[in-house]
Structures are given as C-alpha cells and as structure tokens.
Amino acid sequence: AFLARIQAPLEQAVSLWVTDAEGVVRAGSQRWDPSVTIAGREFFRVHRDGEVGLHVSAAFTGRATQVLSFALSRRRSTPDGRF
C-alpha cells in the first residue's frame, strides 16, 4: 500500500517494487506473481554484480503489465556491503 501511494501521483510510473537478493519481488505497488523473479533482468544483474549507483535500463516489456517500459533502479546494500 505504501508503494502504491507513492506511485499513484506519478502518471509516468507503471509500478514500484522492492526485491530481495534473489530477485523475488517482496513489495510492490501492484500485484505480482511471487513465482516470477527479475533475477534474469539486466537491471537486476548490474546491481547484484556490484555497486553502480542509479541505473537506467534498456527498454523491455513488463511481465506483470505487458507495457513497454524501462527501469530506474538502485542497489541497497547492508552496512557491510552485502547485496
């Protein structure tokens, strides 16, 4: 609900989500099938493989929305640097 409230006034945003280190969506602004991960998506792999700051992905078709999109993503690390 929190992410949906953040996303609601952002007309251009399709969805917001938070994943775990395996690419499983743990929270999102819309429903998500928990059996589907983003582990294979380029915008997830760049963060799993290292700290890159803010990342803008190549265009892709959203799995949940079927809408042509791009992702803005950022890695969140633990204090000791783990993903």
Task: Assess contact for 72 and 56: CB atoms under 8 A.
Answer: yes
Degrees (nearest 5) of the Cα angle 57, 1, 42? 15
**Alpha carbons within 13 A on the beta-carbon side of 45:** 5
Q: Is the pLDDT of residue 7 over 90?
A: no
**pLDDT tens digits, one per residue of 15-56:** 888 899 999 998 888 887 888 889 999 999 999 998 889 999
